[in-house]
Amino acid sequence: MAKIHLLDYETINKIAAGEVIESPKSIVKELVENSIDAGADEITVEIKNGGKSLIRITDNGKGIEKDEVEDAFKRHCTSKISTSDDLNSLYTLGFRGEALASIASVSHVELITRTADDSYGTKITLTGGEIVLKEDIGCPVGTIITVT
């Protein structure tokens, strides 16, 4: 019989991704729900090859604060709850903080975001869950997330 051991980080993320990401449509669902929770009233969904080659969601929601962009891709990081008591009064579509981390762990993700308080936005690129680029960028208020 095999010994009990802790799985490595990459394997854990891929298992979590399998729980969250059943198909391209589940990625679209998670990202559109994030846009709605961000207060967007305009959301554009672009897909290529049934979502297997490209998924891009563009919204005019509140955006993500510059100092929170990296945290958005960490497991169990969320703006939607703070304590277990919050679980009894959820008014959002998602709350677990799993979607972006799971999506990024099995794909290439580019996120461009800006809040109304900022004069410029932030662009972050991840491959396999690892940040490969983070820079300032000119962009409108809201978020554009591209998954390939």
pLDDT in tens, 16-44: 655 556 789 989 998 998 899 899 999 99
Task: Answer yes or no: are the C-beta atoms of 78 and 97 closer than 8 Å.
Answer: yes
What lies within 8 Å, CB to CB, of 10 at 6+ separation is 105, 128, 129
Tell me: pLDDT of 122 over 60: yes
What is the chain's mean pLDDT, rounded?
84
Distance CA(49)–CA(114), nearest Å, equals 29
Domain layout of the chain by residue ranges = 9-83+93-147
**What is the distance between the terminal CA atoms of the chain, rounded to a whole angstrom?**
40
Task: Answer yes or no: are the C-beta atoms of 27 and 147 closer than 8 Å.
Answer: yes
Question: Which CATH entry fits the domain spanning 9-83+93-147: 3.30.565.10, 1.10.540.10, 3.40.50.300, 3.40.50.2000?
Answer: 3.30.565.10
pLDDT in tens, 72-81: 887 665 555 5
